[in-house]
Amino acid sequence: MSESKAPKGIHAERVTDWLVENVGGLEPPLGFALITGGHSNLTYSVTDQKGRKLVLRRPPLGAVLATAHDMGREHKIISAVGGTGVPVPDALGLCTDESVNDAPFYIMDFVEGHVLTTSQQTAQVIPDEGKRHALGERVIDVLARLHTIDPDQIGLGDLGRKEAYLDRQLKRWRTQWEKSKTRELDSMEKTYDLLIAAKPEQKYTGIVHGDYRLGNMLTTDDADIAAVLDWELCTLGDTLADVGYLLNNWVEPGESPVRGGDLAPTAAGGFPTRDEFVAAYSEKTGHEVANIDYYRSFQSWRLAAIVEGVLARYLKGVMGDPNADTSGFRISVDRMADEALRLIRKLG
């Protein structure tokens, strides 16, 4: 593939040379294609002449917040988590030499599976409600497994500070919001003040995925999870944060997704309810799940800050898609900020 035909963000000849040298068994020339769907780090498929497929991950084009796009960190996480019972793609190589592709990147194995993003798609891929319930239970199993891993035992003890997770996250995403915001939003300011005032004590510490939901998993035809993806926000800290985040995405039939549109695979029906989810997770981990509306509010506020950052990057033209629906991002941020304020006010 010539440089002119390669997707933006890939220097085909240099990357091919690096891959042939560092990943065994590849037969060039290699084909590269941008995989749509991600709004932060960029993901590409790589295919050799024998049909072997790999996945390449690199930061967005242009200036970014460095800590949010650390390829070495992401590669380290999936390398460590592989083999723990949490399904992830095999990590195959990390390139930190920016002369190869203008930025670090890493390579992992391509895993077949469906990324479930809507209720309609979920009902088509898994038409049997009993299997959808089994998939929901598998989602709980994997999260419980992740949260009961000792990070020190798999080489992730230095991934981040274990204590004061909420303090660190509130500070980080407040800073992100201030750096990335495209307008003033009163609900973001009010929610932040209430989150600070109502912050609970951290009771359970472990590996926090940071974006754990069906849309970041590869699901098989028989309702199993082939791989959990998108570990860029993973850190150490309060594991209840992942529970709050997932419950925000665990839309029950008849509810309207906060982010708008049909972005709720669980709305297809058949999945465990939120209450059943919490009960099963608590039983599998031995963790008491209390104050969950605080964590749901925090995660809605945090995701609003994240999506605002995505919006800002699209407006700057560094995400490789000039036709993105930026108005949709703005509406999503408004809705998530309003939902965060509603949830935190429920706590009184």
The answer to whether position 103 is within a domain reads yes
Residue 265: the pLDDT is 94
The answer to whether position 3 is within a domain reads no
- Mean predicted confidence (pLDDT) in 149-153: 97
Count of alpha carbons within 13 Å of 241, Cβ hemisphere only?
30
* Joined tokens for residue 186: 């009163």
Nearest Cα neighbor of 59 from 96, 5, 87, 33 is: 96
For residue 66, pLDDT beyond 50:
no
Q: What is the pLDDT of residues 100-115, one digit of tens each?
A: 999 999 999 999 999 9
- Mean predicted confidence (pLDDT) in 137-158: 98
Q: What is the pLDDT of residues 297-330, one digit of tens each?
A: 999 999 999 999 988 888 887 766 666 778 888 9
**Under 8 Å between Cβ of 226 and 214:** no
Pairwise CA distance, residues 4 & 160, whole Å: 40
Domain hosting residue 230, numbered range: 119-346
For residue 250, pLDDT beyond 90:
yes
146 & 17 share domain: no
Q: What is the CATH number of the domain that holds 36?
A: 3.30.200.20
- Mean predicted confidence (pLDDT) in 141-161: 97
Domain end call among 65, 83, 109: 109
The answer to whether position 281 is within a domain reads yes
Max mean pLDDT among 51-65, 81-95, 246-260 falls in: 81-95
* Global confidence as pTM: 0.88
Burial class (CB within 10 angstroms; exposed 0-12, middle 13-18, buried 19+) of 333: buried
162 & 205 share domain: yes
Q: What is the CATH number of the domain that holds 310?
A: 3.90.1200.10
For 156, 223, 245, the CA distances from 133, given in Å and listed in that order, are 32, 9, 19
286 & 336 share domain: yes
For residue 159, pLDDT beyond 90:
yes
The answer to whether position 1 is within a domain reads no
For residue 71, pLDDT beyond 50:
yes
> What single-letter DSSP state applies at residue 54?
E
The answer to whether position 62 is within a domain reads yes
> Which residue in the block uniquely carries the two structure tokens 């465990």?
272
274 & 157 share domain: yes
Pairwise CA distance, residues 340 & 320, whole Å: 30
Q: Label residue 261 by pLDDT band (50, 70, 90).
A: low
The answer to whether position 73 is within a domain reads yes
103 & 23 share domain: yes
| Planar angle of CA 144, 200, 205, nearest 5 degrees | 35
SS3 275: helix
272 & 315 share domain: yes
Residue 16: the pLDDT is 97
Pairwise CA distance, residues 339 & 348, whole Å: 15
99 & 130 share domain: no
Burial 99-134 (b: 16+ CB within 10 A, else e): ebbebbbbbbbbbebbbbbbbeebbebbeeeebbbb
> Using CA of residue 154, residue 160, residue 165, residue 169, what is the dihedral sign?
negative
For residue 36, pLDDT beyond 90:
no
Q: What is the mean pLDDT of the chain?
A: 91
127 & 274 share domain: yes
98 & 137 share domain: no
Structural domain total, the chain: 2
> Which residue in the block uniquely carries the two structure tokens 């299997």?
131
Domain end call among 80, 109, 138: 109
The answer to whether position 6 is within a domain reads no
43 & 160 share domain: no
Pairwise CA distance, residues 51 & 157, whole Å: 38
151 & 104 share domain: no
Domain end call among 65, 88, 109: 109
174 & 235 share domain: yes
For residue 186, pLDDT beyond 50:
yes
Nearest Cα neighbor of 257 from 220, 308, 214, 199 is: 214
| Planar angle of CA 109, 112, 115, nearest 5 degrees | 110
